[in-house]
Structures are given as structure tokens and as C-alpha cells.
Chain A
Amino acid sequence: MRERSLTPYLFLAPFMLAFLLFFVTPVVYSIYLSFFVKQRSGAFGIATEVFGGFANYIRAFRDADFLASFANIVAFGIIQIPIMLALATIIALILDEVSGPLGRFFRSAIYIPYTIPSVIAGLLWGFLYSRNLSPLNYALQSSGQEPFNFLSPLPVLLFSIGNIVTWTWTGYNAITLYANLQTVSKELYEAAKVDGATGWNVIRYIKLPLMRPALLLTFVFSIIGTMQIFAEPFVLQGIGFVPVNVTPNTFIYDIASRSANYNYTAALAVIVAGITFIFSIFLLRMVNRSNP
């Protein structure tokens, strides 16, 4: 049947067209752009784009501000991701214990932050962090103390951003882990009980090992998410000074909007996307190898 052999491609066409246009082409185009540099003939001459080889990449790896933004996000991820996933694990275990109306209420309560756009979450926490409006600072000031500055120095700022990210994403990760626990056969618990396993031992020796594959998967997705952080620091600028290079994305945005150097912007985007991609693939390989 010849008609059937062409059919799958016709059904694929809309998705593939959009995929080629808005994924493949931009990636190829920005890799192409990243190999060009602007050159001026004379001090006030018209800038022309000439092939520059790896000049933009060399510039990026010598750009102290860009490297600092990378160092920030690595430090951020090393601290924030384990905290968030530990909380998510605890919540998943709680969800597995409670049932009925309380269980449903708790599930909604922890999940609602995930439905809130990160910009709005950043905006709300920004108010809770601000010098004058924060209830914490209200309490500090009414007891005669100095208000706390949530935006400075840099480690405090990273913790403030980390709290917003944790608030938004913990519930999402918890539900994912909980869903994984739910697929476990109940006979396993019953068997463990018959063998005399107590509550903590069931958690330690049965539930936690069972959650491991899902935990590793949420870990990989958390890394991808961390590399994308932009909205939270961006809206925190509304309440005070936030360095432009607090994350790689805020730095790239600053370069693009201030200097309009699209060649350098393209190189930076390629670096961030490439490093994240390679690192994620590497981690997923490890996950797959440890879970045959």
C-alpha cells in the first residue's frame, strides 16, 4: 500500500516543520553567527562582520564576568538542588503516609506554587524581601533592629533566589517522586511488615531505594532548570541592585540588550546550551547504567 508509506510523513509534517524552523534553524544559525566578529574600518567606520574563527569563544572563556556567572550558578546548583530534592523526598514520603481529605489538601498546598509563573513568584518574594515591606523586616524594625538585606552580599542574594526556586519547584518534584512510589506493589510493603520491618526501616530499605531512579531523573531536570534561571533575578532588580552577571542568562541578556553584539551573544548561548546538553546526557547515561 503506497498510500500508507507516505502517511507517517504527512502526519509528522506540522511538528517537524515547526521543529526545523524554531529549533534546528536557530541553533545552526547561532552557531554560524558565533564564528563572526564585528570589525570597524577606522575609529568611526561602518562595522562589518568578518569571519573570526573561535574569537568569540576565546573571548567568552576570558570574560571574567561570564565566568563569574557560571561560578555563581554552579555554587547555586550544588546547594539549592540537594536541599530542594531532600525536601521533595520528605514530602513524597509524607504524601505516601497520609490519605483522605488531609492528604488531598496537603497535595494541593505543596503543588500550587508550581502553577505560579516564576516571574510572579519572583515578584511576590521580592516584596517579602524588600527593605520596607517585608514582614520579617517589619518585625526586626519594630524591635529596634536594622532591616535585613536580602540582595547583598552575593551569597545572600543566591540564597534569596534559591528560596524562590525551591518554593516554586519542590512540590513538582515531590509529586513526581510520589507518583513513582505509587507504582510500587503494595505486596512489597506487606511482605516487609511480615518480616518485621518497622516504619523507619521500610523508608530506609524499601521506599528510598525505590525512589532512586526518579530522584536521579528529577536531579537531571533540576540541573537543566538551574541553567535557565533568569526571571527571578530579573524581577528582584525591582527592589534593589542585582549584579547583571548573577546567572549566565542574566549576563547574556545584558550583553544582548546593552551592546547589541549578536555574534558574541550567539557564542555565549551556544556555550550555555552546549554545556548543559552534554552534562545532562552524561548524567542520564550514568543513570541508565546504574539502573539496568
Chain B
Amino acid sequence: MNPVSRQSTPKAASLERPKPAPGGRQWLLTVLIIAFCIYFLLPLYWVLVSITKDNGQLNTTFGLWFATPWHLVQNFQQLVNTDGGIFFRWMLNSFVYSFAVGILATAAAAMAGFAFAMFAFRGRDVLFNFILGTIMVPATALTFPIFLLINNIGLANTIWAVILPQMVNPFGLYLMRIFWQQGFPKDLMEAAYLDGATNWQIFWSLGLPLVRGGLITVFLFSFVGAWNNFFLPLIVLNDTSLFPLTLGLSIWNNTNTGQTPRYTMIILGALLSILPLIISFFALGRYWQGGLTTGATKG
């Protein structure tokens, strides 16, 4: 059993637990839940209202209610037409960067996690703790050093400058090691050796299907991390046609002055940029939570 499915057991137990909360407490609970829902969801509700307006309506009508006539289609058309439809280029870039980072980071973490979990080799624990310790170094503080290096080896302003540095995911390695330890019994590996399987066959055909949950979790977190990354592309890219969505939208936002404000178009762009994440959240919810709970409870 992998750690994700292990997590679901106590959850199921909590559903059965009867909860006869006393009146006063139930009331407090309801008020708190409503207050938190308003706080966390209101900005998103505001987005849904705002994308139906034009800039005039955005300025003059109440922000939390719709105004007629609707301008959703016009906002979308403006998004398609502005700067030759570069928004959709940015979206494509975000997908390319995130997929590449997801695949590379997951492959590297799965292989290294296999080595750390399944083999005893000299310096294993020191090396693992050293890599894990780098989680404590703020990623943004590394970005300038990475830029200086990338600039030196001639990769600045290329897609590799965005993709390759994000391949290093110490937390992904940590998760994969746990998934290997818990999902792949050492006896099974010994049996496979006796059957004459090579290490690669054991890893690829026998092992990977058993740590599938870990692969999806690490891919998801690497993908989302790359999708959300802003600082690295800001530092290493100049060419607007290479920008990911986060960078493109923020540049639009910070240069959004003068005669033709583009507020509602930018808000629509922001919504489209988070849509893939929200869809993945609902489609892969248990993996989103799996990454957190594995780290939290095994840490």
C-alpha cells in the first residue's frame, strides 16, 4: 500500500464518528465556516463577476455584482487580438515548461529515490540529509546565482534556463524515497534478482507500477511548481515570446497605464491561467493532499 491510500483509512474512520455537538458550539462552527468561506472564495467570485464587464463598468459599478450588458465575449476577443494573441503563446509556454519540468523532476526523483531506498552504499545517509537540508535554502536566493551561471554557459533567454534548474526537487526525492520504502518490499526485489532480472528491469517493470501514487504526486507538485514559478523566468528570460503566463500577465499588469486600460482582459487572462490548476485540483485531489500529508506525518 502506498502512503496515499494509507491516508484514506483514518479519514473514513472520522466519517463514522458521531458528532453531536452542543448547540452553542455548533453555532460558532457555522459562523466560522461561513466567514472562512467568504474570505477564501470572495476574490474568486469577484473575478467571475469582473470578466463579464468592460473597463468602464469595472470602474463605475459595484464590484460584487454583475452589470449589463455583458462583455465576456469582447474581453476574450481582446485577449485573442492583443499583441498578436501572445497570451496563448504564453499559455503554450507554461504547458511546455511545466510538462518538461514535471517529467524530468519525476524521473530524476524516482531513480534517485530508488537508489536511496533500495541500496546501502557508502555515504548514503550523509548525502540524503545534505540534499534534504537544501530545502532550507530559499529558492529565490538561489535564482540569482543560477542566472549568473546560466548566463556564463550561454543558456540565458532559452527555454532550458527555465526548465533545467527546476528539475532539482529535493522534496520530490524525499517523497519518492518514502514511496519506495513503503511500496516496494525488499523481498520482492531479492526474488526478482533470483529470477535473473536486471536492476533496470526491476526498477522499470516491477517497481514503477508499485510507486505509481508517488510518481503522480511528485509530477503534480513539480508541474504546479513550474506553472507557478515567476522569479526564475523573470530573471532568465528577455524574449516576451518565451514568457510563461505568470510573467506575461504580470508584465501586462505593471505596464497597464495610459489611454487604453486593459483591466478586464487581464482579469480574464488571470482566470484562464489558474483554470488548469483548479481542474487538476478537482481531478487529482487526493494526490494534492497526498504530497502534504506524506510530508507532514512522516517528517
Which residue numbers of A lie inside 8 Å of B, CB to CB?
3-5, 7-16, 18-19, 21-23, 25-27, 29-30, 33, 87, 90-91, 94, 96-100, 102, 106, 108-113, 115-121, 123-128, 132-135, 138, 167, 170-172, 175-177, 179-180, 182-183, 186, 189, 199, 214, 217, 224, 227-228, 230-231, 234-235, 237-238, 249, 252-253, 256, 262, 265-266, 269-270, 272-273, 276-277, 280-281, 284
Contact = CB atoms under 8 A, between A and B. Distances in A.
10 contacts: A8-B119, A15-B109, A19-B168, A99-B17, A115-B281, A116-B274, A179-B289, A235-B253, A256-B144, A269-B145
A15 B249 contact: no
B164 interface: yes
User: Which of A22, A253, A266 counts the most chain B CB atoms within 10 A?
Assistant: A22
Contacts of B80: none
Nearest to A132: B59
A116 B32 CA distance: 23
Contacts of A100: 15
A239 to B, nearest CB: 8
User: Which of A25, A119, A182 counts the most chain B CB atoms within 10 A?
Assistant: A119
Interface stretch (B19-27, B68-76, B83-91): B19-27
Given A11-B115, A231-B230, A277-B137, A135 B270 contact: no
Interface in B41-73: 41, 43-44, 46-47, 50, 58-59, 62-64
A13 B145 CA distance: 23
Given A19-B131, A106-B37, A276-B136, A237 B111 contact: no
Nearest to B198: A3
B1 interface: no
Nearest to A272: B141
B64 A135 contact: yes
A32 to B, nearest CB: 10
Nearest to B299: A217
B contact patch SS:
helix
Interface string B132-161: 011111111110111011001000000000
Given A22-B146, A98-B29, A117 B46 contact: no
User: Which of A120, A125, A269 counts the most chain B CB atoms within 10 A?
Assistant: A120
B276 to A, nearest CB: 10
A272 B173 CA distance: 25
Contacts of B288: 111, 115
Interface string B228-249: 1011001100000000001101
A176 B288 CA distance: 11
Contacts of A119: 228, 230, 246-247, 249-250
A276 B138 contact: yes
A112 B231 CA distance: 22
Given A113-B40, A127-B50, A228-B140, A26 B149 contact: yes
Contacts of B253: 123, 126, 235, 238
B44 A90 contact: no
Given A9-B121, A18-B168, A120 B270 contact: yes
Nearest to A279: B136
B21 A110 contact: no
Interface residues of B, number: 100
Interface of B: 7, 10-11, 13-15, 17, 19, 21-22, 25, 29, 32-33, 36-37, 39-41, 43-44, 46-47, 50, 58-59, 62-64, 104, 107-109, 111-112, 114-116, 118-119, 121, 124, 131, 133-142, 144-146, 148-149, 152, 164-165, 167-168, 173, 199, 203, 224, 227-228, 230-231, 234-235, 246-247, 249-250, 253-254, 256, 263, 266-267, 270, 273-274, 277-278, 280-282, 285, 288-289, 292-293, 295-297, 299
A8 B250 contact: no
Given A119-B250, A186-B13, A224-B138, A14 B144 contact: no
Contact of A25 (B39, B144, B149): B149
A180 to B, nearest CB: 6
B112 A12 contact: yes
B43 A124 contact: yes
Contacts of B116: 8, 12
A283 B132 CA distance: 16
B267 A15 contact: no
A133 B292 contact: no
A30 B148 contact: yes
A138 to B, nearest CB: 6
Given A27-B145, A262-B148, A11 B263 contact: no
B43 A172 contact: no
Closest 10 CB pairs of A and B: A26-B145, A135-B63, A273-B141, A30-B145, A15-B112, A179-B293, A117-B228, A8-B119, A11-B115, A280-B136
A15 B63 contact: no
Given A26-B149, A272-B141, A124 B46 contact: yes
Nearest to B62: A138
A133 B11 contact: no
A15 B108 contact: yes
Given A112-B41, A117-B273, A234 B140 contact: no
B167 A22 contact: yes
B68 to A, nearest CB: 18
